[in-house]
């Protein structure tokens, strides 16, 4: 098993659909993150969960709804998205006790909104 | 607040030539430094990291980086690149005392290796 697994790898959805991205980490970490990576733009940190509590929400529109049911799983629920939401969504995890900030990334979910 | 600047957005280079990707960060007393690589349609993979000790850090795939505290730089180098090194490279820094280990990323440098 790879350290951080994201599913699906590719997703195409219409603007009225509801879908979810899933992330699972097998590293025993206690913090998880969602990043958005758009073409020609810097990485954007969306959400941070620390010990299953949301500790950061960087002004993300409400059409993105994160969920962290336990320290190993993280979801990003999507509804009523816009074409500009098309991007690569990256999940990452870290071990808070290490205090280095080092992140372990998944392969990403490529989202296309039609 | 901590910030990271990658001075080159694109670096084209011929195969077997040396390459240097530049990274500067804003001044801080103590930092941890990282380089990540992202191959097309993949996530970010750790290339190397500086936590403490020797300022010259060796990573995977023949890459190395040197921490220069006086110049607040952490440039990435490889003496001879391969076509397979074509990817985007991200420099990142965490400020140990002020941000609780939160990682700050640069904007990325696209390395394009040509035959």
Query: What backbone phi and psi angles, to 5 degrees, belong to A38?
Result: -100, 155
Beta-strand ranges (E) seen in A1-114 are 4-7, 10-13, 18-25, 31-37, 44-50, 53-57, 64-70, 73-79, 87-94, 104-105, 109-113
- Rounded to the nearest integer, the mean pLDDT of chain A is 92
> Is B94's CB within 8 Å of A108's CB?
no
Q: What is the pLDDT of residue A56?
A: 81
Give per-residue pLDDT as tens, B4-54. Answer: 999 999 999 999 999 999 999 997 678 899 999 999 989 999 999 999 899
> Is A105's CB within 8 Å of B44's CB?
yes
Q: By C-alpha distance, which of B21, B18, B2 is closest to B10?
A: B21
Q: What is the pLDDT of residue A1?
A: 56
Q: Is the pLDDT of residue B101 over 90?
A: no
Q: By C-alpha distance, which of A98, A104, A97, A82 is closest to A1?
A: A104
- Evaluate whether A110 touches A9 at the Cβ level (below 8 Å): yes
Q: Which residues of A touch B44 (CB under 8 A)?
A: 90, 92, 103, 105
Question: Hunting for tokens 């990707």 — which residue is that?
Answer: B21
Q: What is the pLDDT of residue A2?
A: 72
Range scoring the smallest mean pLDDT among A8-12, A40-44, A109-113, B65-69: A40-44
Residue B99 banded pLDDT, cuts 50, 70, 90: low
Count the helix, strand and coil residues of chain B and give each as a percent rounded to the nearest 5. 5, 50, 45
**Mean pLDDT of all residues in A20-32:** 96
**Probe site for chain B from A3, A10, A102, A110 (most B CB atoms < 10 A):** A102
């Amino acid at each position: 098993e790879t350290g951080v697994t994201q599913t699906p790898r590719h997703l195409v959805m219409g603007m009225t659909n509801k879908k979810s991205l899933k992330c699972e980490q097998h590293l025993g970490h206690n913090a998880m993150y969602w990043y958005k990576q758009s073409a020609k733009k810097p990485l954007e940190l969306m959400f941070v969960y620390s010990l299953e509590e949301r500790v950061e929400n960087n002004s993300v529109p409400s059409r993105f709804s994160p969920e962290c049911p336990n320290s190993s799983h993280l979801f990003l629920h999507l509804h009523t998205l816009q074409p500009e939401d098309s991007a690569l969504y990256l999940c990452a995890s870290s071990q808070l006790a290490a205090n280095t900030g080092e992140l372990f990334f998944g392969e990403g979910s490529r989202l296309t909104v039609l | 607040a901590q910030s990271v600047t990658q001075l080159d957005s694109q670096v084209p280079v011929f195969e077997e030539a040396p390459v240097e990707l530049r990274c500067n960060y804003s001044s801080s007393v103590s930092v941890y430094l990282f380089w990540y690589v992202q191959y097309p349609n993949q996530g970010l993979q750790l290339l190397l990291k500086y936590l403490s000790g020797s300022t010259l850090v060796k990573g995977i795939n023949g890459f190395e980086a040197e921490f220069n505290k006086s110049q607040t730089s952490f440039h990435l180098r490889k003496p001879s690149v391969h076509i397979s090194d074509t990817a985007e490279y991200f420099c990142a820094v965490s400020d140990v005392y002020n941000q609780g280990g939160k990682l700050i990323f640069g904007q990325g440098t696209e390395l394009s290796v040509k035959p």
